[in-house]
Amino acid sequence: MASSCISLKCREHDAGDKALIKSLNNLEAGQASFSRPPTMRTACGSVIIQHFAIKSPFFMSLGASRLKRRILVVVLGLGSSLSFVACGSYSKTGPPSGLTNRVLASQSVTSTFSFGGLVLINGIYDTVPRAAPLSAGNSPGLMVVSPTLNIAAAFDANTNSVYAIDTTKEAGIGNVRLPGPTSSMVFPTATGIGYAAIPTATVNGFSLLGAVDEMNFQAGQLTTIAVANAQTVISNAGGSQLLAFSNDSNSIAVLTPSAAVPPVDLSCYSGTPNPVCTMVPGFDRPVYGIINGNTAYILNCGPQCGGVMASVMVFDLPSLTVTNTIPVDAATWALLNGSTLYVAGTSPTNNACTGQTTAATTCGRLDIVDLTSNTVTGSIVITDGYHDRMDLNVVGQLFIGSKDCTNIGNVGNPVGEVRGCLSIFHTADNSVVIPPDNGDVNGLQGFTTRTVEYVAEGGALRVYDTTQDILLINDYIPQGTVGIIGYVGDVKAIDFF
């Protein structure tokens, strides 16, 4: 703060210090003696006088026949301090917390002494600063962020409400109450508009269940697009096109939200393609997809979800046609990296834990799909469960999380094998590490400037050293866990670092 002495105010106070000394010299009228000239340091008006003895009529008039050197130094030091304070009076920039490498963790209430909310974390030291949590209800869990990180949103399971946060101001934009719980949200742009899939949503006046709700926080408006049993929603880059996936369905809904008519749009029930909704059949229990330009990679869950065959279908968005089908072991979640698609799931049949020393009898699979040749080039044994989290970090490690997996041992009393829902896949050599922890993986967050990974697992926020695949232990986090009271339901970085 004090190093920036280029402001006019700083220069004025530096000049004031010099003028003060000159005035004192003039008042001395030759009675002040210096063993050497006073030394001035140019940083923000700081003044160093190495030796100063004075006998002056000016100070005689104040009732002192002689003023000791240290008194004068105090006077000049006070002037210098005032100059320093004035130099430091600048307009504060950045967020109110003062942090520039921020991470948010959603924390739900676990006692009467703790309130739920979004906890700010110093993403460099992995510590919780002295800042009040951002309001997001009492039981926030699932979080999403906009591509520019200017908006973060959290779903509060206690009230079925979504709270939106302006991350620049660290303040709420508003909240909307959904007609049911959601496990899938997306904010495709920097505007205050998001979308949530609500499988149990009811539509007044209709015997319908399921919807994709458009949440316009700027206008305070909620628009419902009725989609039967809508479980998951994804968006293209501009938010002009959405894909909605429904439970126990072999179709997907292709939506144009800008054409929807509020408050309730029933276009998906018209039976024919229309400007708002087109139902596209021919899939096999589709549950998720990744949109890349004009192509969507649709994950067919297949047998894991009551269907026939798990696969990845290459879906052309302009023509709404499938151009290729790639069989995989199982498919509930995926991550795209260049021309490689990583696909995870747990097959009801091909689920042996071959190659792993574990008491678990069921394991999942990670299939590596080369999109250039549309073939599977590798199949890796990982933890089981329903996979719905992935993150590829800066050192080429793919963190894979699931829920409802096989938990072995007790991380609180680690005797023998301890195993949970987290797998770490090394893309360099195709090896896998299963960390000794328990519980569902609710959030993953890596960074480009640090070799660590934040993992929300079993309600705790772990910090993994990705150079060793173990918990990071230091003076800030001696247990490898960020000190947050309550259940951590998700984690998201809100600064690029």
How far apart are alpha carbons 290 and 334 in whole angstroms?
8
Residue 231: DSSP 8-state? E
Both tokens of 46, joined, read: 């700081």
Q: Is residue 418 part of a domain?
A: yes
Residue 115 has a pLDDT of 77
Query: Cβ atoms within 10 A of the Cβ of 422, count?
Result: 29
Residue 109 has a pLDDT of 77
Quick one: which H or E segment has residue 401? strand 397-403
pLDDT in tens, 115-127: 789 999 999 999 9
Q: Which of 496, 494, 497 is nearest to 164 (CA)?
A: 494
* C-beta of residue 274 within 8 angstroms of C-beta of residue 256: no
Helix axes 69-87, 8-28, angle to 10 degrees: 160
Last-in-domain residue among 87, 117, 144: 87
455-494 per-residue burial string, b: 16 or more CB within 10 A, e: under 16: bbbbbbbbbbbbeebebbeeeebeebbbebebbbbbbbbb
Pairing of strands 264-265, 221-226: parallel
* C-beta of residue 175 within 8 angstroms of C-beta of residue 162: yes
432-437 long-range Cβ contacts below 8 angstroms, 24+ apart: 432/356, 432/380, 432/381, 432/382, 433/469, 434/356, 434/358, 434/382, 434/383, 435/464, 435/469, 435/470, 436/409, 436/411, 437/411, 437/462
Q: Which of 408, 251, 388, 252 is nearest to 330 (CA)?
A: 388
pLDDT in tens, 28-72: 333 333 333 333 333 333 333 333 333 333 333 333 333 344 433
The residue type of 333 is W
Residue 206 has a pLDDT of 79
Ranges in the chain, pLDDT < 50: 1-91
Q: Is residue 293 part of a domain?
A: yes
Residue 127 forms beta bridges with which residues? 122
pTM assigned to the model: 0.81
Q: CB-based contacts of 482: which residues, under 8 Å, 6+ apart?
A: 105, 121, 126, 127, 128, 454, 461, 462, 463
Q: Is residue 357 part of a domain?
A: yes
* C-beta of residue 302 within 8 angstroms of C-beta of residue 310: yes
- Tokens 């307009």 identify what position? 91
Residue 93 has a pLDDT of 75
Q: Is residue 110 part of a domain?
A: no
How far apart are alpha carbons 187 and 130 in whole angstroms?
29
Q: Is residue 102 part of a domain?
A: no
Any alpha helices (H) in 56-125, and if so which ranges?
Answer: 57-60, 69-87
Residue 118 forms beta bridges with which residues? 106, 134
Q: Is residue 456 part of a domain?
A: no
Q: Is residue 92 part of a domain?
A: no
Residue 92 backbone phi and psi in degrees, to 5: -70, 130
Q: Which of 120, 86, 81, 80 is nearest to 104 (CA)?
A: 120
Residue 355 has a pLDDT of 95
Last-in-domain residue among 55, 87, 119: 87
Pairing of strands 340-345, 161-166: unpaired
Domain count, the chain: 2
Residue 231 has a pLDDT of 98
- CA atoms within 13 A of residue 133's CA, in its CB half-sphere: 23
Residue 29 has a pLDDT of 38
Residue 146 has a pLDDT of 98
How far apart are alpha carbons 206 and 407 in whole angstroms?
42
Residue 204 has a pLDDT of 77
CA 122-127-130 angle, to 5 degrees, is: 80
Quick one: which H or E segment has residue 20? helix 8-28
Q: Is residue 290 part of a domain?
A: yes
Side by side, the strands of the sheet bearing 252-255 are 230-235, 242-246, 252-255, 277-280
Residue 208 has a pLDDT of 83
Residue 277 has a pLDDT of 98
Which residue range is the domain that position 77 belongs to? 8-87
Q: What is the CATH number of the domain that holds 431?
A: 2.130.10.10
How far apart are alpha carbons 240 and 242 in whole angstroms?
7
Query: Cβ atoms within 10 A of the Cβ of 270, count?
Result: 12
Find the distance separating the first CA and the last CA of the chain, reported in whole Å. 22
* CA distances from residue 240 to 243, 258, 430, 481 in whole angstroms, order as listed: 10, 7, 38, 40
3-class secondary-structure state, position 463:
strand
Residue 465 forms beta bridges with which residues? 452, 470
Last-in-domain residue among 405, 420, 439: 439
* C-beta of residue 489 within 8 angstroms of C-beta of residue 106: yes
